[in-house]
Structure 1
Amino acid sequence: MNSQQLADFEATWVPRINTYLDENLRTVSDRADLTAAMRYSVLAGGKRLRPLLSLAVLATFDCSITAAELRASTALELLHTYSLIHDDLPAMDNDPLRRGQPTSHVKFGEDLAILAGDALQPLAFQWLADSGLTADKVAQLTLGLAQAAGPQGMVAGQVADVKSTGQQLALPALQHLHRQKTGALIHYAVLAGTIQAAVDATTQQALTEFGDAFGLAFQIYDDILDVTSTPAQLGKATHKDAGEEKNTYPVLLGLGGAKAALKAALATATAALDRAEAASQTDMTLLASFLTYFTN
């Protein structure tokens, strides 16, 4: 795994993603206050990990990334941001900070924050629909994103998270919760790349299994950072999960057990990439470099 390869890819594409988001959200509404709230949360920063994964799949298969692919891939960041705005609300996690800045409801009020999230969700589907990709790809992407975000995906995971607070879950239940809450959109990010790149079914299966393992690793790593980092390092409150009796990997397994679970998830992700490489006869080192996110 080559961390420099990931750094180079990020250096190329994160500025392009950010510029695209900035330019295409300037006149997104005739309500200046709504536009400001939407732009505030989307442009607050972030790793842009999800669109990067989609674009990395395209780059892996030497697909040209035109305005259509960039719009379709970046649409996911709108939906992800909606989920963060709502996740931070007083009725949910009641977080005052996100990416080192006041959260949307702190800055704009709870009512406008909810509505900004409400606006970003359909806008993501609008960007898929008017991306300029073929009708078949748009249909597959729309179905995939709706399934990932909806009542059997991210929202179901959020409900499980809220309703299990104060109750200790068994490991399989915790893994299922996070496959939905965190993993579903990461699964979709990889799936979206495979749809746009038109890869074969065997390769697509292996790559989405990589995405699932990556999503699990991402959640375990986030849980570990909540225990081991400071608010200044993370840009958000830390040590909240244990205090609020949230189900996390360190709480259930201990810090050492959580680190072992992270290592196992990374091994699963690597094995899936090996299968994808064998099936497609295509070098997977760019996607493998994303796993250095958890080791650096």
Structure 2
Amino acid sequence: MDEVRDKKMNEKTNKKMKMLEIEDIIEENKFIKSFYFTDKTITKAEPAQFVMLWVPQTSSGDVDFSTPDQIPMSVSSVHKDTFALTVRKYGKTTGELFKYKKGDYVGMTGPLGRGFSAAGNRILCVAGGIGAAPLLLLAQKLQGRKIHFVLGATTKNELFFEKKLEKLCSTLCITTDDGSYGVKGFACDPVPDMCERYNIDQICCCGPEIFMYKVFEIAETLRIPAQFSLERYMYCGLGLCGHCALDGYLICKDGPVFTSEELKKTKDFGAKKVDETGMKIDI
């Protein structure tokens, strides 16, 4: 009974926003920064669990409520009571966050959602772009197992986490779309060979959905269990707004991590998503 009570209390706590101080900022490359915070609850996040991040839009001197007030961000690393959010500058909210400095405060709710639960001793992590963020935390959590990693980016200057992953993984394969570093091609390209060479037990994947769908097809062909961390437009992160719907699933509550078996039952994976207006559009 105490465990049930504690679980319910933790779930309630996770859904309350807290203001956290930015304790450090690391520039991974000119597009991506890691922001470091301290919090005993969020450091318990499983890989691919996320927080809803509130960045007060205060450039004008007043809070700007025209910009979405929360965005989902996966925890990328944990050390004791310190954790990081690794963020790519993309829209208004992340653009505002990139103006923030050490000592500034942002709001967070979480951790939320369902993370990776990798089984087996030989795991292949496949990351495309910013999808490396939750997979870095997975590599940290799986120390003691054989971790093989494919890290993909569009070009050399968009790569990040290379040095950290070299220390954590048995093998690291780097791909760039333009061939400016590592193997020329997409992060999904080395997957069949690496699965065969290292007798992989399970694949864990995160990145653009079209790319993940290709890894899904490879995993199905090779009959290797796989898990995928999906991204959808989210307003609430609590299963209320419905913007993150996927054929009856809600990414924020049922995911963001889904197994191949679950995704086989969907029609929209790799094809459709709901945009900020609520309309279903092509990916």
TM-score, normalised with respect to structure 2: 0.26
Which structure would you say has the larger RCO, counting Cα contacts within 8 Å and 6 or more residues apart? 1
Greater fraction of residues in helix: 1
TM-score, normalised with respect to structure 1: 0.25
Greater fraction of residues in strand: 2
